[in-house]
Amino acid sequence: MPPISKSASACPAGQETGQPVPGRWRKLRMYSKVIQPGRPDGSKSLVLRAVGALDWTTSEEFQVVLHRLLRRERPARLVLDLSAATPIDSSGIGALLLANDKDARCTLCGLSGPLLRVLERTRLRAMFEICPTWRDALHV
């Protein structure tokens, strides 16, 4: 994926990829990329990268934007890259649960140690497919 504008420097080294998702973000920016792996069935994947806080102030807009992207792109797989999403509170986890309930197969990647421990303690880890990176998620 080609790099996008350097204005998205909240991520280490400012290495954002994909297209910026429009929104009135204050604490969270989102980038999306549709991947068409050339499968015989024509299925495609949507990679959505969240940068910044996924909390009570941003989770509602995250859900709205996610729903809009899923309706427009109709991917077979949704990959949520959370490697640059900090912090994530209970509202953010609720948004992830709702994302997992959509028609597309949902995979989380780039989880921080604290978020992974929260998912394990609350027994929600079993509800998600989890991969180290979004590239790994595309090959599962």
Give the pLDDT confidence of 8-60 residue by residue, as tens digits.
Answer: 223 333 334 455 555 554 567 777 777 766 455 667 888 888 888 888 888 88
What whole-number distance in Å separates Cα of residue 135 and Cα of residue 119? 22
Count of structural domains, the chain: 1
CATH of residue 127's domain is: 3.30.750.24
- Does some domain include residue 10? no
Q: What is the pTM of this model?
A: 0.75
- Does some domain include residue 12? no
What whole-number distance in Å separates Cα of residue 28 and Cα of residue 22? 11
Q: Are 89 and 15 in contact (CB under 8 A)?
A: no
- Does some domain include residue 96? yes
Q: Are 133 and 103 in contact (CB under 8 A)?
A: no
